[in-house]
Structure 1
Amino acid sequence: MTKVGFDPQKYIEEQSKYILERVNDYDKLYLEFGGKLIGDKHAKRVLPGFDEDAKIKLLQKLKDKTEILMCVYAGDIERNKVRGDYGITYDKDILRQIDELREFGLEVNSVVITRYSGQPSTKLFINKLERRDIKVFKHAAIEDYPSNIDKIVSEEGFGKNAYIPTTKPIVVVTAPGPGSGKLATCLNQLYHESHQGREAGYSKFETFPVWNVPLKHPLNIAYEAATVDLKDVNMIDSFHYDSYQEVAVNYNRDVETFPVIKRMIEKITGKESVYHSPTDMGVNRVGFGITDDAAIQEASKQEIIRRCFATECDFKKGLLDEDTLNRIKLIMEEVELKKEDRKSVQPARDYAMRLKETTGNNDMPAVIALELNDGRIITGKTTALMDTCAAAILNAIKTFANISDEILLLSPVILETIQEMKKNELHHKLTALSASEVLIALAISAVTNPTAQLAYDKLSELNGVQAHSTVMLNDNDEQTLRKLGLDITCDPVYPSDNLYYI
């Protein structure tokens, strides 16, 4: 059982109080939100006890004072950039986030398309938004941004891009991922607010790295592992130390760009900046919610291992370069971790090797091992009837419900009928039932079968279970496991030689 090491209520209280203190200094505060606004799984994993929706709940407390701008880089729409956690493209994620923000009662002002130059797929996305009555603003790239401050802070720079009218004292600027143009949008707004005689300020809400936790703390190193593809490196904020003789941790991009951003804000406002360091610009109080440092360290080490597996799989798929792969290996060595330190890894590999020896097949058998919250290990393997994810899920919920392994939850006749439909009517090449298909069959069986109902009622206990697969999973199975709350890692091995049907 994972030990709780974080107090989410204290964090929300500290964070909301700190934001309101910043707001009091200005007519309007533009608050750049880094990381995920909703469903911050990384924070939940490295800070056991953290509410993955803490940020949105914080904004919900401030909803009368808050509205939201959503940024997306036109180039990310053009190349169909995908969010790894949800498996959807950035344009679809914008739609998803707008729906979820509305459910929380938060006002979405508009969507800002950054570095727009008439890209065709982006035009279609703009049409889709506008025909659903969502306001869209288009900002062009500014030549020599961010180095040529005189040009940027002029009618030839920010002056060319539209001002976005806002009405609330807090304007949250968020995006599906990094590089979406959040900072430029904030500064663009500051430029226009200043020209209209209003005093506006800028702050950054970035959860990681945690400025008041040591540089080499596993929590901060886990952030480096999470952003390994961006080549972010944590470092001591030298500006902060020079100004306050206080050690604070930040990351390379913020430290490197701070002097430029500071001068830009000063040129926009005509006043000396109140910020002496990039840490000053932040409103990050997450470090004050930590209640058990040992629990945080252990959870962070497990996250580093998880990120190592994810990076190796992405490299195998051709999504990352070799430099990124080598970087994650160095991070593992720095923290003295082995992949086998993840408890579900070795049981999955051992079971797969036993199957391989039995069958004499050269391919690595598809096996998943689940580490339940009480420490027990449950395994599942691919069969002619169902794939490894489906088998592992059924084995786990039977264990939770104390149902004997010999008792069948689902009638083989029903499962075989579904297989026949997949093969003959839907013309699927692979007929083994997936996790989502077996879960639907279980839900239907639970209506008339009390034993199936007993197992169905245990699905919620899969939340927080750690899992490892000896082969890479397809997107459908991976998303099903994530929706159930399992944390899955995979060895960088394809399940077959097929290039499309995996």
Structure 2
Amino acid sequence: MRQGFDNDKYIELQADNIRRRIAQFGGKLYLEFGGKLFDDYHASRVLPGFEPDVKFRMLRSLADDVEIVIAVNANHIEKAKVRGDLGITYDEDVLRLIDVFRSHGFLVGSVVLTQYAGQSAADAYRRRLEGLGITCRLHYPIAGYPHDIEHIVSDDGYGRNDYIETSRPLVVVTAPGPGSGKLATCLSQLYHEHRRGIRAGYAKYETFPVWNLPLNHPVNIAYEAATVDLDDANIIDPFHLEAYGETTVNYNRDVEAFPVLKAMMERIMGSSPYASPTDMGVNMVGFAISDDEACREASRMEIVRRYFAAADAFKRTGDGLEQVERLRSIMKKAGVDEDLSPARGAALDKERATGAPAGAMVLPDGRVVTGKTGDLLGAASALLMNALKAVTGTDDELTVIDDAAIEPICRLKTDHLNSANRRLHSDETLIALSITSATSPVASRVINGLERLRGCDAFFSVIISPTDIDLYRRLGINVCCEPKYERTGLYHR
């Protein structure tokens, strides 16, 4: 795939900028980490070449100076809030994050329960953490937050929160998801540090929107598409424009909150180190873009993907029409429509020609291959096999998996697992291909083409199963579906 981002340059620039910010505050910095620290697949899609774990790798270059604090909202624990991308609760994700950080040599100092008000589930979780040897601290709701500055920055406000003892110059405050209280945790710590005579500062690490790209650059518009459920909007930072005469991009919530945040820092530190929300950021991602047009092209595709994801969700649930309409407006702003990818037209044409659900995929060399639902394979399986044949130079007419290897799986599904659908999902197809590869050099060659499909775009004429969508995504293939079901009826699995 055409690359548009330089990871090595990004790591060097980003680590250097964070070091300078630590020095600016006399040797200690609380860094609020917005977005995903690793597995950032949105960034890798809109900035082709951006590796999903590059921010994590960048922090590893500072590992000896880094301490991790994980914030989680006690109300989210009480309500068993679930991460949509992983399907696990926030409290379980905290444990997952700790394991990941520790496995890479990071010090995880504490977990802080924010908005703690005696929730029973939070109490049980605190006991669980302490039983695991994990330090747990409590931060409380503050009356009048965020506007009553005098009360917030006082012994009855931040002063009531537990002080989190830290030992490293860079304290990264992260969380399992939004609304976890990362900013409040950072400001509470600043209050306690300054009361103790310890110099410390605050900065924010948020990848999007990219502050030094134009407001209507497709990369920034793609961020609006990604956060359509939050009703975020990219805007020009008026504080930065007034202070420096320089046009930069931020998003509405940070701009709206800045006067209050600035007033808090003035009360804590005596004066605010920042004249604008842009000043607070340490993001250097815009300087590591190596091919602007490649990033523009990739971002336009991501905007369309977000539209189809919302349209599919609306079809499934009947909820989210406003998001669909807003994404239509975002597509219009970006100058794209539903037919941006040639895969859509190819899939719909294939369905019209055959009368069967179909899919199409754009290969790295620009060729478009198709596949349709048959007697033994679903559309996702057929497309995957045809794409693998194409990228490995295997004759399209050649049978790679013998029916004798497929039929037993079909019988198992219907005769013993009570499935009404005997056709193989894409994961079952890969298992059959893998078994065949033990004795077939052709199958072995075909299955080794999987990595070459990473980053490709696939489109289906119907909503395919969650099993197939999950398999494609694990392979790094981007999936869109026409917002319609394969069959009529009220209940769909």
Secondary structure of the corresponding residue to residue 198 of structure 2 = coil
* Cα distance in 2 for residues equivalent to 1:50 and 1:430: 39
> Which residue in the other structure is 2:227 paired with?
227
> Which residue in the other structure is 2:482 paired with?
491
- Once structures 1 and 2 are overlaid, which stretch shifts more, 237-246 or 22-31? 22-31
> Which residue in the other structure is 2:361 paired with?
370
* Cα distance in 1 for residues equivalent to 2:27 and 2:199: 5
**Mapped contact 2:363–2:391 kept (Cα < 8 A):** no
Shift of 1:74: 3.6
- Once structures 1 and 2 are overlaid, which stretch shifts more, 177-186 or 481-490? 177-186
1:328-377 superposed Cα distances (whole Å, 9 cap, x missing partner): 11111112211101221111111122233xxxxxxxx4322111111111
> Which residue in the other structure is 2:194 paired with?
194
**Mapped contact 2:359–2:370 kept (Cα < 8 A):** yes
* Cα distance in 2 for residues equivalent to 1:424 and 1:128: 44
**Mapped contact 1:158–1:188 kept (Cα < 8 A):** yes
> Which residue in the other structure is 1:388 paired with?
379
> Which residue in the other structure is 1:207 paired with?
207
* Cα distance in 1 for residues equivalent to 2:318 and 2:15: 38
* Cα distance in 2 for residues equivalent to 1:366 and 1:129: 49
> Which residue in the other structure is 2:326 paired with?
327
1:59-98 superposed Cα distances (whole Å, 9 cap, x missing partner): 0000000011222334444555444444544444434333
Residues 34-183 of structure 1: pairs in structure 2 closer than 5 A? 34-119=34-119, 122=122, 125-126=125-126, 129-183=129-183
Secondary structure of the corresponding residue to residue 317 of structure 1 = helix
CA gap 1:331/1:153 in 2 versus in 1, 3 angstroms: same
Query: What's the TM-score once normalised by structure 1's chain length?
Result: 0.92
> Which residue in the other structure is 2:411 paired with?
420
**Mapped contact 1:419–1:433 kept (Cα < 8 A):** yes
Number of corresponding residues: 492
* Cα distance in 2 for residues equivalent to 1:217 and 1:38: 24
* Cα distance in 1 for residues equivalent to 2:182 and 2:466: 29
* Cα distance in 2 for residues equivalent to 1:444 and 1:182: 48
Partner amino acid, structure 2, of 1:478: I
* Cα distance in 1 for residues equivalent to 2:102 and 2:296: 36
**Mapped contact 1:5–1:293 kept (Cα < 8 A):** yes
**Mapped contact 1:27–1:198 kept (Cα < 8 A):** no
> Is 1:353 the equivalent of 2:349?
no
Partner amino acid, structure 2, of 1:354: A
**Mapped contact 1:153–1:264 kept (Cα < 8 A):** yes
CA gap 1:131/1:313 in 2 versus in 1, 3 angstroms: farther
| Percent sequence identity over aligned pairs | 47
> Is 1:287 the equivalent of 2:269?
no
* Cα distance in 2 for residues equivalent to 1:478 and 1:120: 37
**Mapped contact 2:313–2:320 kept (Cα < 8 A):** no
* Cα distance in 1 for residues equivalent to 2:163 and 2:155: 12
* Cα distance in 1 for residues equivalent to 2:89 and 2:406: 33
> Is 1:261 the equivalent of 2:252?
no
* Cα distance in 2 for residues equivalent to 1:131 and 1:432: 48
> Which residue in the other structure is 1:17 paired with?
16
Secondary structure of the corresponding residue to residue 394 of structure 2 = coil
* Cα distance in 2 for residues equivalent to 1:44 and 1:89: 25
Q: What root-mean-square deviation, in Å, do the aligned CA atoms of Structure 1 and Structure 2 show?
A: 2.2
> Is 1:317 the equivalent of 2:316?
yes
Partner amino acid, structure 2, of 1:298: E
> Which residue in the other structure is 1:247 paired with?
247
Secondary structure of the corresponding residue to residue 172 of structure 1 = strand
1:163-208 superposed Cα distances (whole Å, 9 cap, x missing partner): 2221111011112332221111111211222222211110000111
- Once structures 1 and 2 are overlaid, which stretch shifts more, 100-109 or 390-399? 100-109
CA gap 1:353/1:130 in 2 versus in 1, 3 angstroms: farther
* Cα distance in 2 for residues equivalent to 1:429 and 1:119: 45
**Mapped contact 1:86–1:479 kept (Cα < 8 A):** no
* Cα distance in 1 for residues equivalent to 2:337 and 2:54: 32
Query: What's the TM-score once normalised by structure 2's chain length?
Result: 0.93
Shift of 1:428: 3.3
- Once structures 1 and 2 are overlaid, which stretch shifts more, 255-264 or 453-462? 453-462
> Which residue in the other structure is 1:273 paired with?
272
Shift of 1:156: 2.3
Secondary structure of the corresponding residue to residue 342 of structure 2 = coil
Q: Which runs of 5+ in 2 are unaligned?
A: none
- Aligned partner of 1:448 among 435, 439, 442: 439
